[in-house]
Amino acid sequence: MLDKSTSCSLVGPLVRRGYRVAVMDYNLCPDVTLEKLMKEFSGFISWIFDYAELTNVLEVTFAGHSAGAHLLAQILHSQEAMSPQRSKKVWALVFMCGIYDLRELYNLESVNPKNILSLNQQSAGTLSPMLWEYTDVAIWSSTKMYVVAAEHDSTTFIEQSRRFAELLKKNGFRASFKVFSKYDHFDIIEETANDESEVSKFLRNIRMD
């Protein structure tokens, strides 16, 4: 659901402080399969790095919420989109309220109505970041990774975030896990539009962490 025009809540507070922000738009399922959508995201990653090189950007931070966090996990797994030179530019990765094991959710009508993601048990496993092998850990040695959950999200979402953070740390990434109190799955991203909200301050302070 939705598109970039309704997913720009975090732009204002960051732009007002001198950051450049790009928000990805992508095709929606079932017009495309989830696998095709993930390939679109790899193309977006490449576009960002091409733009960074063209405009002499020295540092990049990526953040993804919900399905966006699932897509963002590809940056650690896709050898096509990444290289040691590119990863050195990535200051931080922020995974917010993401889905990391599709096997637990793909057959739930509330998450995947009428199977619009075109998944089965096998493809749900193949496309789950919790099951991927992460072989290029060394190129991410300077990148901080934040896996974030919302207190009032579902238990499944919170536990998936916790387990994903543990998986990243186990593999050697500089990852941490944080639960934001009072927020739920939706207002944690909506509140990024508020300069003084806890989550907005968190995103701005990553640079100083």
Catalytic residue among 118, 184, 185, 187: 185
The catalytic position among 101, 153, 197, 200 is 153
DSSP labels for the chain? ---GGGS-TTHHHHHTTT----------TTTS-HHHHHHHHHHHHHHHHHHHHHTT---EEEEEETHHHHHHGGGGT-TTT--HHHHTTEEEEEEES----GGGTTT-TTTSGGGTT---HHHHHHT-GGG-----GGGGTT-EEEEEEETTS-HHHHHHHHHHHHHHHHTT-EEEEEEESS--TTHHHHGGGSTTSHHHHHHHHGGG-
- Identified catalytic residue from 65, 66, 87, 197: 66
Active site residue 153: yes
Catalytic residue annotation: 66, 153, 185
